Amino acid sequence: MEGFLQAFNRLSLHTDAARQDLQIRLRSRSFEKGDCLLKSGAICRNLYFVDNGLVKTGFATGDKTFIMRFFPENNLFTVLDSFTTQAPSFYEIVALEPTTVTYIEQADLEVLCRKHHCIETAFRKLLAFATVNMMKRISEMLEENATERYNHFLKDQGMLLQRISLGDLANYLGITQVSLSRIRSKK
């Protein structure tokens, strides 16, 4: 729980009262590799922090799978559109390793945002950072070729290379495993 509190506090310094109110609403849960934290079609009711492990967010259409992001330890994450609107999610969240998360429910976070300006500020900044990251991701997918996307992955998330499957990496890059093998062989 301490990691969640520190991450939120880095976004906006919390008062002692806000920290206490936040802390009592945090929960912890563990998942096995392959477990779904959120299934497509369900409503995302939690904002998560990865204490240990690794998760992915993505969706499937027909026979294609697309991975939006990987979230290793010390990251806050959610399925933003479903979490903020409380509408069913098109995306899913899956544990790629045994994973422990700390989380807060959306209804509890709403109460805290109304009660504590510093928590509202932290959440607003989290939304802003998530928006910027998603815009960057969309831009990469639309404007860069597969080799450039692979190089960006290595630069930004290369430490995950040994923790994710080549299939997941190919799906993240939006290419086939054969294309990924060609790109990797040129390195």
pLDDT by residue (tens digit) across 74-131?
Answer: 999 999 999 999 999 999 999 999 999 999 999 999 999 999 999 999 999 999 999 9
Chain-centroid distance, C-alpha 22? 20
Q: For 22-42, what is the mean pLDDT?
A: 98
Chain-centroid distance, C-alpha 57? 6
Q: For 45-60, what is the mean pLDDT?
A: 97
Helix H or strand E encompassing 64: strand 64-72
**DSSP assignment letter at 38:** E
Cα separation values, 143 from 17, 39, 58, 92, 139, Å = 46, 30, 20, 25, 6
Q: In the prediction, which pLDDT does 149 show? A: 96
Helix, strand, coil fractions of the chain, as percent rounded to 5? 50, 25, 25
pLDDT by residue (tens digit) across 39-51?
Answer: 999 999 999 999 9
Amino acid (one-letter) located at 81: D
- Provide the whole-model pTM: 0.94
| Conformational region of residue 12, where left means phi above 0, alpha means psi within -120 to 50, and beta covers everything else | beta
Helix H or strand E encompassing 109: helix 106-115
Rounded Cα gap, residues 127 and 131, in angstroms: 6
Nearest alpha-carbon partner for 43 in 4, 91, 108: 91
- For 37-57, b/e burial (b = at least 16 CB within 10 A) is bbebebebbbbbbbbebbbbb
Q: In the prediction, which pLDDT does 63 show? A: 87
DSSP-assigned beta bridge partners for residue 29: 101
Residue 186 has pLDDT above 90, yes or no: no
Locus of tokens 């070729």: 145
Q: In the prediction, which pLDDT does 62 show? A: 87
